[in-house]
Amino acid sequence: MPAELRAIDCDVHPSVPDIKALLPYLDMFWRDSISERGIPSLESISYPPNAPITARPDFRGKNGAAATDVSQLSAQVFDRWQASVAICNCLYGIQLLFSEDMAGAFARALNDWIAKEWLDRDVRLRASIVVPMQNVEMAVEEIERCAKDRRFVQVLVLAMQETPLGRRSNWPIFAAAERHGLPLGIHAGSAYRNPVTSLGWPSWYIEDYAAQSQGFQSQVASLICEGVFAKFPGLKVVLIESGVTWLPGFLWRFSKFWRGLRTEVPWVDRSPAEIVREHFRLTIQPFDAPDATDDVERAIDHLRSDDMLLFSSDFPHWQFDGDQVMPAGIPAGLHRKILVENPLATYDRLRDANPARETVS
Amino acid sequence: MNIEVRQPVRAQKAKVGLIDCDIHPKLTVEQMRPFLSNRWWNHLQTYGIRYRHGYAKGYAYPKMTPQAARRDAWPPTGGLPASDLDFMRTQHLDHYGVDHGIMNPLSPTGQGEQNPELAAALAFAANEVQAETWTHREPRLRSSICVPYEDGEASRTEIRRRAGNKDYAQVFVLSRTSEALGRRRYWPIFEAAVEAGLPLGIHVFGYSGWPMTNTGWPSFYIEEMTEHATSSQAVVTSLIMEGVFERYRDLKIVLIESGFGWLPALGWRLDKHWKRLKDEVPHLKRAPSEYIREHFWVTTQPMEEAEEPGHVVDAMNWVGMDRILFASDYPHWDFDDPVLALPPSLNEEQRRMIYAGNARALYNLA
């Protein structure tokens, strides 16, 4: 791959190898709580540890876990796939906790762990700020605290929350993100406050994973209908591990109903399709595409924008085999945009020459 | 604002044929009175119908027009939109030259009522009223068998009662059931539908009791309308993953008013993840998109409208031109005009199939 096309990988997943890894970053009370209460782990059922999607077999170590240290991730993402930068989105079920205090403490610990154990060990890594959505004030505090370290490049939340993201109670989070030039990254996953379908809890894990795209659709609708982009015109939203091909059909329906029902949401002063093209970006893995190349090109064409797709490997999740990180069928003319230009345009902080690495405190 | 009824417009296109697969007749509890026992009539008077959304009248997401109806659909004789057969004939059936109309009554039909016995009593009465007040008087119309879907056995009983009766064209449920529709509690409905040789129509709406999105309750009616697509995605996913089509191989599903732009992408998504996770669902013998292609039909209204019309035609090709059925949604505000709804670039054969041919074959209409 030519040097100028060395990819920016917008979605990699460092794994917390053991809850004990967070002990140095927790205060005495929460350290004791882990042992006194026997808290085994905060892994969520969005990614059952042994499920095929959670880690590709050849990425798993002897204990079955993958991406538990920097060298393993760097060897795959930087050495083999030749990425120049990768953004760490740590999925550890802090969002599921019911105690606001516990969520706040573990979010701080996780972000500090990422900075020290990952970002400090490889200058090519960046990370997202995991925030405790259980309490908006705490989430804003955590953004303010971590944003000082410019290696944190976005705010990370899950696709399925207690309430739709656009709700006004969440607006201080968007204000903080906009203020610091941090996109709001919405990643697949659930806080499991609600069933993963509007028809209740399904029987199979595959339904849970498939339902992620329903959550993304609902979040896009909510953020737009509530007027978030009228209030925060500088806010960018990245849909991560969302799939891609569901978006055009969703926008046809949404934009049509906007034409019929816009009096209900007068602050939405343009078609949702236009707002999405300006404010939303999507990572490319998993790429939920048809088989035929011609159909892939059509599906991409339906986005009506070359600016929206961001390269991602989703390492170590098993979305593709071998080294086919760039999905087959994506027109070659788009590669440079997807690999480099779109990520740079999306993440302000990736344009820093030398991101300040001051210690998070 | 009442608009003058226009002159019939379809005479010159008579050969294409027109079957409207989503017409909403308004039934009233007064019409249902003769078909309800005193016990349930008295219960209704005292406690009313209780849906899983909290309001005794109206909705938590108020519609944008009274009765969600076209402003010009209120009959001059009084009464609610689509409650008057003569006015429906003038304004819709005759005006557009509708050859057949499939009626899908939405309320009060017992569907979504919390008390299962009342739900069954109302469904029975709604089916009687459809035949007596509509189908017997207007041979172009067909009824749908409303079933009290939260009770599989009661639903089976209602379907068997109507089986073989040409008044009824399909079995009818709403999309937001209290559990995902593929779960076993609903299997008696599929079994009885197959036994009766009838498709199962799944119309959007209903109140499952769960939040309308998997990330909680949205704020606005526009979101409720948009979210019908996500709920329908959950319905299709559930029916496939539970193995319903391996068990009921002749089951035909009609998705009504849920759009179809999302259906190809759902198939691609399910195929991709099924390839990775197929060990979890060994009862599936084929890729999910193959079940979609074989077992699902879609209705057009609200017709997808992309910024570039050709994109909708792509989606129609992906769904399959032989699986798309025209629907107007008369008398609701988002009604699609049969003359204007379909993309002009479709060829004559495609128009013939979508306006009438596909529905004629699916519903066995002469």
pLDDT digits (tens, 9 = 90+) for B99-121: 999 999 998 999 999 999 999 99
In 3-state terms, what secondary structure has residue B148? coil
pLDDT tens digit string along A263-302? 999 999 999 999 999 999 999 999 999 988 999 999 999 9
Distance CA B1, CA B73 (A): 10
The verdict on residue B239 lying in a domain is: yes
The verdict on residue B177 lying in a domain is: yes
Q: Which residue has the tokens 């209705």?
A: B299
Q: How confident is the model at residue B11 (pLDDT cuts 50, 70, 90)?
A: very low
pLDDT score of A356: 64
Out of A214, A249, A304, whose CB is closest to B315? A249
CB–CB contact A245 B264 (8 Å):
yes
* Alpha-carbon torsion (A358, A109, A9, A240), positive or negative: negative
CB–CB contact B210 A209 (8 Å):
no
The verdict on residue B5 lying in a domain is: no
Q: Which domain holds residue B322?
A: 15-362
Nearest alpha carbon to residue A16 among A58, A38, A49: A49
- Partners of B333 on chain A (C-beta within 8 Å) are 260
pLDDT tens digit string along B133-177? 999 999 999 999 999 999 999 999 999 999 999 999 999 999 999
Instruction: Please check whether residue B227 is in contact with residue A198, taking contact to mean a CB–CB distance below 8 angstroms.
Output: yes
CB–CB contact B262 A246 (8 Å):
yes
Out of B176, B216, B219, whose CB is closest to A162? B216
Q: Tell me the three-class secondary structure of chain A, residue by residue.
A: CCHHHCCEEEEECCCCCCHHHHHHHCCHHHHHHHHHCCCCCCCCCCCCCCCHHHCCHHHCCCCCCCCCCHHHHHHHHHHHCCCCEEEECCCCCHHHCCCHHHHHHHHHHHHHHHHHHCHHHCCCEEEEEECCCCCHHHHHHHHHHHHCCCCEEEEEEEEECCCCCCCHHHHHHHHHHHHCCCCEEEEEEECCCCCCECCECCCCHHHHHHCHHHHHHHHHHHHHHCCHHHHCCCCCEEEECCCCCHHHHHHHHHHHHHHHHHHHCCCCCCCHHHHHHHHEEEECCCCCCCCCHHHHHHHHHCCCCCCCEECCCCECCCCCCCCCCCCCCCCHHHHHHHHHHHHHHHCHHHHCCCCCCCCCC
Helix (H) or strand (E) holding B101: strand B100-103
CB–CB contact B210 A159 (8 Å):
no
Question: Residue B94: is its pLDDT beyond 90?
Answer: yes
CB–CB contact B259 A255 (8 Å):
no
Q: Which residues make beta-bridge pairs with B253? A: B200, B296
Question: Residue A24: is its pLDDT beyond 50?
Answer: yes
Distance CA B177, CA A278 (A): 36
In 3-state terms, what secondary structure has residue B190? helix
Residue percentage of chain B with pLDDT more than 90: 95
pLDDT tens digit string along A95-119? 999 999 999 999 999 999 999 999 9
Mutate to test the interface with A, among B177, B213, B281, B308 (most CBs of A within 10 A): B213
Distance CA A125, CA A74 (A): 9
- What does the block give as tokens for A170? 């969440």
Main-chain dihedrals φ then ψ at residue A151, nearest 5 degrees: -75, -15
Residue percentage of chain B with pLDDT more than 70: 96
Shortest Cα–Cα distance, A79 to chain B (Å): 26
The verdict on residue B249 lying in a domain is: yes
Chain A contacts in chain B segment 48-77 (CB below 8 A) = 64
Helix (H) or strand (E) holding B144: strand B141-146
Question: Residue A333: is its pLDDT beyond 80?
Answer: yes
- Partners of A210 on chain B (C-beta within 8 Å) are 233, 237, 266, 269-270, 273
Interior/surface letters B246-258, b for 16+ CB within 10 angstroms, e for the rest:
eebeebbbbbbbb
CB–CB contact B178 A257 (8 Å):
no
Q: State chain A's mean pLDDT as an integer.
A: 96
Shortest Cα–Cα distance, B133 to chain A (Å): 32
Amino acid at B366: A
Nearest-Cα residue of chain B relative to residue A215: B214
Out of B221, B235, B273, whose CB is closest to A210? B273
- Partners of B217 on chain A (C-beta within 8 Å) are 163-164
pLDDT score of A38: 97
Question: Residue A252: is its pLDDT beyond 50?
Answer: yes
Residue B267 Cα distances to A291, B270, B318, angstroms: 11, 5, 10
B213 touches A: beta carbon within 8 Å: yes
- Partners of B268 on chain A (C-beta within 8 Å) are 245, 288-290
Distance CA A171, CA A165 (A): 9
Instruction: Please check whether residue B259 is in contact with residue B315, taking contact to mean a CB–CB distance below 8 angstroms.
Output: no
CB–CB contact B215 A225 (8 Å):
no
- Partners of B179 on chain A (C-beta within 8 Å) are 199-200
CATH of residue B192:
3.20.20.140
CB–CB contact B222 A257 (8 Å):
yes
Q: Which residues make beta-bridge pairs with B200? A: B171, B253
Distance CA A10, CA A241 (A): 10
Domains, chain A, with CATH or none: 9-351 (3.20.20.140)
Q: How confident is the model at residue B12 (pLDDT cuts 50, 70, 90)?
A: very low
B176 touches A: beta carbon within 8 Å: yes
Out of B230, B231, B238, whose CB is closest to A207? B238
CB–CB contact B223 A221 (8 Å):
yes
Instruction: Please check whether residue A332 is in contact with residue A83, taking contact to mean a CB–CB distance below 8 angstroms.
Output: no
Q: State chain B's mean pLDDT as an integer.
A: 95
Helix (H) or strand (E) holding B339: none
Instruction: Please check whether residue B150 is in contact with residue B177, taking contact to mean a CB–CB distance below 8 angstroms.
Output: yes
Residue B332 DSSP symbol:
B
Instruction: Please check whether residue A33 is in contact with residue A39, taking contact to mean a CB–CB distance below 8 angstroms.
Output: yes
Instruction: Please check whether residue B303 is in contact with residue B276, taking contact to mean a CB–CB distance below 8 angstroms.
Output: no
CB–CB contact B241 A261 (8 Å):
no
Instruction: For helices A272-279 and A246-261, give the axis angle rounded to 10 degrees.
Output: 130
B185 touches A: beta carbon within 8 Å: no
The verdict on residue B346 lying in a domain is: yes
Nearest-Cα residue of chain A relative to residue B174: A199
Nearest-Cα residue of chain B relative to residue A273: B307
Helix (H) or strand (E) holding B273: helix B263-277
Region A24-50 average pLDDT: 97
pLDDT score of B1: 41
The verdict on residue B4 lying in a domain is: no
CB–CB contact B222 A190 (8 Å):
no
CB–CB contact A206 B64 (8 Å):
no
The number of beta carbons lying within 10 Å of the beta carbon of residue A48 is 13
Question: Residue A29: is its pLDDT beyond 80?
Answer: yes
Main-chain dihedrals φ then ψ at residue A9, nearest 5 degrees: -90, 110
The verdict on residue B10 lying in a domain is: no
Distance CA A273, CA A284 (A): 19
Out of A203, A211, A249, whose CB is closest to B262? A249
Nearest-Cα residue of chain B relative to residue A245: B265
Question: Residue B15: is its pLDDT beyond 90?
Answer: no
Region A17-42 average pLDDT: 97
Q: How confident is the model at residue B366 (pLDDT cuts 50, 70, 90)?
A: confident
Q: How confident is the model at residue B9 (pLDDT cuts 50, 70, 90)?
A: low
Residues 6+ apart with CB under 8 A from A232: A171, A174, A175, A178
- Partners of A299 on chain B (C-beta within 8 Å) are 265
**Residue B54, Cα to own-chain centre: how many angstroms?**
24
Shortest Cα–Cα distance, A19 to chain B (Å): 27
pLDDT score of A357: 60
The number of beta carbons lying within 10 Å of the beta carbon of residue A345 is 15
Question: Residue A359: is its pLDDT beyond 70?
Answer: no
- Partners of B311 on chain A (C-beta within 8 Å) are 248, 252, 298, 301-302
Mutate to test the interface with B, among A198, A217, A321 (most CBs of B within 10 A): A198
Residue B360 Cα distances to A59, B201, B356, B363, angstroms: 54, 15, 6, 6
Helix (H) or strand (E) holding B117: helix B116-129
Number of domains present in the structure of chain B: 1
The ipTM, to two decimals, is: 0.96
- pTM for this structure? 0.96
- What does the block give as tokens for A58? 């050849």
Strand pairing of A152-160 and B168-174?
Answer: unpaired
Distance CA A61, CA A57 (A): 9
Out of B218, B241, B262, whose CB is closest to A164? B218
Main-chain dihedrals φ then ψ at residue A226, nearest 5 degrees: -75, -10
The verdict on residue B2 lying in a domain is: no
Shortest Cα–Cα distance, B177 to chain A (Å): 6
